[in-house]
Structure 1
Amino acid sequence: MRIIVVGAGEVGYHIAARLVQENHDVVVIDENPRVRERLQSELDVLVIQANGASPAALEEAGIEKTDMLIAVTDVDEVNLTACLLAREWGVRTKIARARNPELSASPFLQGGKRLGIDLLINPNQAVAEEIAKLVRIPAAAQAALFAEGRIQFLGVRVGAGAPILHTRLADLAPVQANHPFLIVAISRRGRLLIPDGQAAVEPDDKVYVVTRKESVPEFLRLLGHEESETRSAFLIGGGRIGLAVAQILEAEGVAVKVLERDPARCQFLADKLQRSLVLQGDGTDIRILQEEGIAQMDAVVTVSNDEATNILAALLGKRYGAAKAIALVQRPDFIPLAASLGIDAALSPRLVTAGVILKYVRRGKVVSLVELSDWEAESMELIVPAGAPVVGRRLRDAKLPADALVGAICRSEEVIIPKGDTVLAAGDRVILFTLPGSIAKVERLFGG
């Protein structure tokens, strides 16, 4: 496809890079000359230095022969205008980022449909939903649901004294017979490994697994964790993301405390929230954290507008007794840094937004998609069409790339954790883990 990306910040750059890897014809429009230099030196894309809401710039980008426009600048109005212009040129698919909830959640705009926009994504709401998933599963550094919730994808740090330590994956067969799961990747000392049966789990590994929902407790036990229910959460930062997280959690029955520095914002939060306790103060003030019972909290979630504050507050929350620490960061390269400091999970709204958009770009082929938060890798759910090259083949004969792995198959009501002799059938929902360089080949193998 020919795709125009308007805006080349972290979201736009990440999307453009992935689209190029998948052999799309990509044009990027951005006003910043430094961005242009970076793109031209690092990606095989045409770059136009201009305002993305300019008809002249869109014409120069070849809007009349474009299949899709993705507008992800930091200015909502520019994104909406670019999509409106694309509609007038007959562009088939229009995607826009909109931070303002008065736009993204407006009943009148119908999620952008009234403007002819196919996907209108609010990054704050998207990341709030991801944070809520992580709060629900205390041991998980990353969590996603596939096959309508029947299959879970988890990233979990190996606990001290975990029963699975130093055990070859091939020797886990007796456990897997009753509690099927498949370890699809291991993050170890700055490297991402696609393991075979001879690989073994080592201390401090982060393990990525695909498993049936009912097998999650046993898998967590093997990694040295007990499954527990989250009953309380301490949110530091009451901005748009903090409010959205609090609303999701209190609707699920979690006891929420929100600590916000600005008194006026505290009053606003108190009016908006039904059962959460709103407190005014500094999230890095140890005295406040201790007085408000941080030691008894199942999770501390730091979602202020300053990522340095978020990292420090998450570390303090963990240091003074919170069971789990989740931090919001703006720069994706801070995610591995946060993990190395002992923060259980870190999320970037930009990467979450890019992941949602990439899933939409691949719709039809891809039912669901999740990117690893600290690696260029992803797990996706595909429906195998009749006539796909893999239909009727055993997995060991399917010629999958070395860095791609089928983690689970959902066939009618049955969930299968596959082995090498498992045969793929048309209509199977396949949960597949892959590195970026193999995405195009995987989609050819599973295409109709």
Structure 2
Amino acid sequence: MEIIIVGCGKVGSTLAEQLSREGHNISIIDVNEQRVEEISNNCDAMGYVGNGGSYSVQLEAGIEKAHLMIAVTGSDELNLLCCLIARKAGNCKTIARVRNPIYSKEIQFIKEELGLSLIINPEYEAASEIARLLRFPSAIDINLFNKGRVELLSFRVGQDSPLKDTRINEIHRKFKCDILVSIVERGEEVIIPNGDVLIKKNDLVSIVAPHKEALDFFVKIGLVKNPVKSAMLIGGGKLSYYLAKKLIKSGINVKIIEEKLSRCEELTELLPRAMVIHGDGTDTNLLLEEGIEEMESFASLTGMDEENVLLSLYAKSRMKGKTITKINRIAYDEVINSLDLGSVIYPKYTTAAYILQYVRAMNNSIGSNVETLYKIKKNKAEALEFIVNESSKLIGKNLEELSLKKNVLICCINRNGMVITPKGQDSLQKGDHVIVVTTNVGLHDLSDIVRG
């Protein structure tokens, strides 16, 4: 497809890289000449220097032939203007990043009136992800499929875990739980496992199961914890605002520490049920005074990755509760992965994954569409949900008959609300929701999981 991306920040560059890798023709627009040149060279994209809200700049970038315009500049209003002009000039699909909380209650109206295909709010989506983790604090990562009926949860195997030195094909017999191990991450290696894989200490294991089954499994391996009742958030930005709002609604006591007095005053008005503290979140004396040692959860959500990392490490040394670390840049992935930071949240990955999901569904008209997509394991793997349409070539075939590509695993089939952990004799039927995990990134259709 012909895709134009306006805005060459963290999200724009990530999208350009991933969409280019998937074979789309990418054009990028930004006022920063150096950024345009850099991304153009890295992603083999056409670069245009200028304001994306300009009709003439969009014409130069080829809006008349474009299939999709993605506006992810730092300004919500510019993003909306870009999409409005694109709709009029090229009649293409449009996606806008809109982050300001003032628009959050008006998103549906804006989307309908401007004819937008998708509106994405990175901070809101990241807040939703964190809120899920605090409801199930034993998990390091949680992704939802099939409108929340099925979960993909990741957890670390500790020294005393009954899972340690257990083969995957022994789990069902040993724990009497209907779950499926979908990924084992061992150091830098991401494994799509078969039944013979032996789970080792410090492995990061991901399972796919309905919530009830997952909870039962966590109880049996000694990992279950009740949802948290208190949370300390460092940084009073948009993410903290959205998260605090969600946590307060769930009955969790929230304490926010923010350095700017004016922002503290805003948050006090916006979140009357939260305790907002004016102070430096990196001041260890302040953290101790405000009760970090008694907190059941701690989230470092400042705009500085280094600060967030150090804060989480300090919190780990002072409390036993859940820690969450926000990371914007990924230049130090290996270092971050080697540290015990609890759950790590990458808002730009969340944004890119939502947009990629839409692009793949838009690009596909074969037998099945990508309903849900998550980029997981630092982009080394994908978890996808497909819906089986009547024209799919895989309908009626037993799974054991399918010649699956290497490193592809069918994890779950949801048929009319009944969740099936797939076995060789199971087959796919029209209307099934199928969850697939793979390290072969870029699948567009369910038929892509089989060889030739």
- TM-score, normalised to structure 1's length? 0.92
Question: Retained in 2: the 8 A contact 1:314–1:327?
Answer: yes
Return the offset for 1:109.
7.3
Correspondence 1:242 to 2:240: yes
2:380 pairs with 1:376: yes
Find the counterpart in structure 1 of residue 124 from structure 2.
125
Give 1:50-199 correspondences, 5 Å limit. Answer: 50-102=50-102, 104-105=103-104, 107=106, 110-175=109-174, 178-199=176-197
* Aligned twin of 2:288: 290
Q: How far apart, in 2, do the equivalents of 1:376 and 1:223 lie?
A: 27
Contact 2:282-2:311 at 8 Å conserved across structures: yes
Distance in 2 (CA, whole Å) between partners of 1:286 and 1:108 is 39
SS of equivalent residue, structure 1 residue 65: coil
State the secondary structure of the residue aligned to 1:362: helix
Please state how far the C-alpha of 1:243 moved relative to its aligned partner: 1.4
For residues 151 and 395 of structure 1, do their structure 2 counterparts lie closer, same or farther at Cα, with a shift above 3 Å needed?
same
Check whether the contact 1:379–1:434 (CA below 8 A) recurs between aligned residues.
yes
CA distance in 2, matches of 1:385, 1:89: 34
Q: How does 1:29-68 map to 2 (within 5 A)?
A: 29-68=29-68
Contact 1:186 1:205 in 2 (8 A): yes
What secondary structure sits across from 1:63 in the alignment?
Answer: coil
Matched residues in 2 for 1:222 and 1:108: separation? Answer: 42
Q: Which residue of 1 is the match for residue 14 of structure 2?
A: 14
Match of 1:418 in 2: 422
Do 2:405 and 2:449's aligned partners in 1 also have CA atoms closer than 8 Å?
no
Corresponding residue number in structure 1 for 2:401: 397
**Which amino acid in 1 is paired with 2:101?**
P
CA gap of 1:39–1:238, structure 2 versus 1, over 3 A, is: closer
Is the deviation greater in 426-435 or in 121-130? Answer: 121-130
8 Å contact from structure 1 (residues 233, 256) kept in 2: yes
Deviations 1:153-181 (A, max 9, x none): 112111231101111111223146x4211
In the TM superposition, residue 52 of structure 1 has moved relative to its aligned partner by 2.1
Partners of 1:166 and 1:17 in 2: how far apart? 39
- Of residues 323, 326, 329, the one that matches 1:328 is 326
- Give the 3 Å change call, closer, same or farther, for CA 250–335 of structure 1 in structure 2: farther
Query: What is the CA distance between 1:239 and its match in structure 2?
Result: 1.8
Decide whether the 8 Å contact of 1:101 with 1:122 is kept in 2: no
Counterpart of 2:27 in structure 1 is 27
User: Any idea what SS the aligned residue of 2:443 has?
Assistant: helix
Offset at residue 86 of structure 1 (A): 0.6
In the TM superposition, what is the alpha-carbon distance from 1:336 to its structure 2 partner? 5.1
Shift of 1:18: 2.6
Q: Report the secondary structure of 1:192's partner residue.
A: strand
Range 408-417 or range 145-154, more displaced: 145-154
In 1, the alpha carbon distance for the partners of 2:190 and 2:356 equals 22
Higher mean C-alpha deviation, range 317-326 or range 365-374? 365-374
User: 1:232 is matched with which residue?
Assistant: 230
Contact preservation (8 Å) 1:314, 1:326: yes
Instruction: Render the CA deviation track for 1:78-124: whole Å, top value 9, x for unaligned.
Output: 3222211111124231111123233x325387143222222222222
How far did 1:312 drift?
1.4
Correspondence 1:264 to 2:262 = yes
Partner amino acid, structure 2, of 1:16: A
**Gap change, CA 1:108 and 1:279, over 3 Å in 2:** closer
CA distance in 2, matches of 1:305, 1:171: 45
| Counterpart Cα distance in 1 of 2:92 and 2:113 | 15
1:400–1:442 contact (8 Å) kept in structure 2: no
User: Cα–Cα, structure 1 residues 67 and 333, in superposed 2: closer, same or farther, change >3 Å?
Assistant: same
Contact 2:255 2:275 in 1 (8 A): yes
Structure 1 counterpart of 2:314, from 311, 316, 320: 316
Q: Relative to structure 2, which stretch is displaced further, 140-149 or 326-335?
A: 326-335
| Residues 1:54 and 1:373: Cα distance change in structure 2 (over 3 Å) | farther
Structure 1's unaligned 5+ residue stretches are: none
Three-state SS of the structure 1 residue aligned to 2:425 is coil
Secondary structure in 2 aligned to 1:107? helix
Distance in 2 separating the partners of 1:120 and 1:413? 28
| Conserved 8 A contact 1:403-1:438 | no
* Root-mean-square deviation over aligned CA pairs: 2.3
